A and B are shown apart, each in its own frame.
Chain A
Amino acid sequence: MKNEKRTKIILGIIFAALLITGGLPLWKHHHFRTPVVAGPGVTRVIHLSDFLPSLKGTVADTDVFVLEGREPGGKALVMAGTHPNEPAGELSAIIIIENAIVEKGTLFVIPTFNVSASRETKPGDGYPLYFDIPTPWGAKRFRMGNRDASPLEQWPDPDVYIHYPEKQLLSFLDIRNTNRTWPGRPNGLLMERVTFAAMELIRKNAVDVAVDMHGAETMFPVTNCIVAPEKSAKIAAMVSMTVKAMEGFDNHVEPSPENFRGLSHREIGDYSDALPFLLEAPLPFLDQPTGPKTEKLMLDGKDPFLLSLSRKKKLFVSYDENGWPMDKRVGQHTSVLLEIFRQYSKKFPEKAIRLSGVPRYAEIVKNGVGSWFHDPAKADPKSIYEE
């Protein structure tokens, strides 16, 4: 090799430049935080580690916003960010935290359930690192997350994931998926401990209703729906019919399969007294046969390939030139959530959950999601939490 030293220095510089230009955006994304302004309804903020101390100081610990009403009533847990690549749930949870006033009952809201997954994304699949939501005071930026927890925090994966305690064999990848590790165990792997801590929150606080907000592909049959086990099915059916009749959008009921273990809508119901519901909003971004996975596709859900497939009746939701915008997805989540509380309160008046200040579908579609986010620059610094 001629000029050995010079060649190695040049190659070393090129390597370092590639490493820095490729790695720095990922490092920044990992450390980026979105400020959330705790609204007047938030009475205290606790942590998941309060229910399992071994989570304290780990990336798996997360904020739990508690909104307590003046009157005692039912208790509900609202979870978002179980899959941080399905962000309509997270936006809905933040709308609740920043705006809801609970009149009766108690609300526990977790906006970032799987923190580890929220801090990495899929650059190899061309995922954007961030997405911006327009608000009256400027754009509010969010991290785009991934479905599963990062191997930086939980590794190695087993060859086959054996679910605890049902012993069902699941995909190795699902050991990092917090919608497969319910009900969890206190001495398990990190994501099993996350779901165990949430189960402890439910059991120790005698939570009555647990709602987990998600998004799903338009080509997947379990989309645009409420997934409910037997014990939640009647309320879910009433909710589905009411939102269709009163608010004009479809949201059918899917039964939670008894023999598919580890999912929140199955295990929360089986291992506690709470009634679980899992909400799925259509999310074209997750579909495989789309164009580039851009921020625009995430926000407006418009894709020419899906439109073509829709004309061939290959999708499980109605789809036209308007796509499935974020406002519509978030609006569905808040409306369905409020309707679940209303129907539950009708059935169990002594354990009613009543809240105000949370917009419904039509208001969010009309004004945009960003209208309900508060400007952190104008908020009391003590009320700001970084997610």
Chain B
Amino acid sequence: MNIIMILYYLITAYLVFILGWNFIREKKSVNNLILMLLVLTPLILRLLRVK
């Protein structure tokens, strides 16, 4: 795995963490919660090396 790929996985993990954190902190909008989960989908699949 080359350095760019490793950096990409680190960025992906960081985004997953941020989105997860925002999901926990979100108090007002159900729409925002659903949007966050939708955005998380490809990031988690990539982290798990599924797709």
Chain B contacts for A19, CB-based, 8 A: 41, 44-45
Question: Would A11 and B50 be within 8 Å (CB), given that A4-B27, A19-B44 are in contact?
Answer: no
Interface string of A1-30 (1 = CB under 8 A from B): 100100110011001001100010011001
The answer to whether A11 touches B34, judged by C-beta atoms less than 8 angstroms apart, is yes
A245 close to chain B: CB less than 8 A: no
Provide the bound-state CA to CA distance between A18 and B40, in Å: 12
Question: How far apart are B6's CB and chain A's nearest CB, in angstroms?
Answer: 11
The answer to whether A23 touches B30, judged by C-beta atoms less than 8 angstroms apart, is no
Q: Please, how many residues of chain B have a CB less than 8 angstroms from a CB on the other chain? A: 22
The answer to whether A15 touches B40, judged by C-beta atoms less than 8 angstroms apart, is yes
Question: Would A15 and B48 be within 8 Å (CB), given that A1-B27, A1-B28, A155-B8 are in contact?
Answer: no
The answer to whether B34 touches A26, judged by C-beta atoms less than 8 angstroms apart, is no
Closest to A11 in B: B33
Chain B contacts for A1, CB-based, 8 A: 26-30
Provide the bound-state CA to CA distance between A156 and B41, in Å: 20
The answer to whether A155 touches B5, judged by C-beta atoms less than 8 angstroms apart, is yes
A-B pairs under 8 A by CB, number: 43
Interface string of B6-48 (1 = CB under 8 A from A): 0010000000000000011011111001100100110011101
Closest to B41 in A: A19
Q: Please, how many residues of chain A have a CB less than 8 angstroms from a CB on the other chain? A: 17
A246 close to chain B: CB less than 8 A: no
Q: Which of B26, B44, B50 contacts A26 (CB 8 A)?
A: B50
Provide the bound-state CA to CA distance between A321 and B51, in Å: 37
Chain B contacts for A156, CB-based, 8 A: 4-5, 8
Chain A contacts for B46, CB-based, 8 A: 152
Provide the bound-state CA to CA distance between A23 and B51, in Å: 8
Question: How far apart are B15's CB and chain A's nearest CB, in angstroms?
Answer: 16
- For this complex, 23 residue pairs linking A to B, each with C-beta atoms less than 8 Å apart, are A1-B27, A1-B30, A7-B30, A8-B23, A8-B24, A8-B33, A11-B30, A11-B33, A11-B34, A12-B37, A15-B37, A19-B45, A23-B48, A26-B50, A27-B48, A30-B50, A152-B46, A152-B49, A152-B51, A155-B4, A156-B4, A156-B5, A156-B8
Binding site for A on B (CB under 8 A): 4-5, 8, 23-24, 26-30, 33-34, 37, 40-41, 44-46, 48-51
Nearest 5 Cβ contacts at the A-B interface? A15-B37, A23-B50, A27-B50, A26-B50, A26-B51
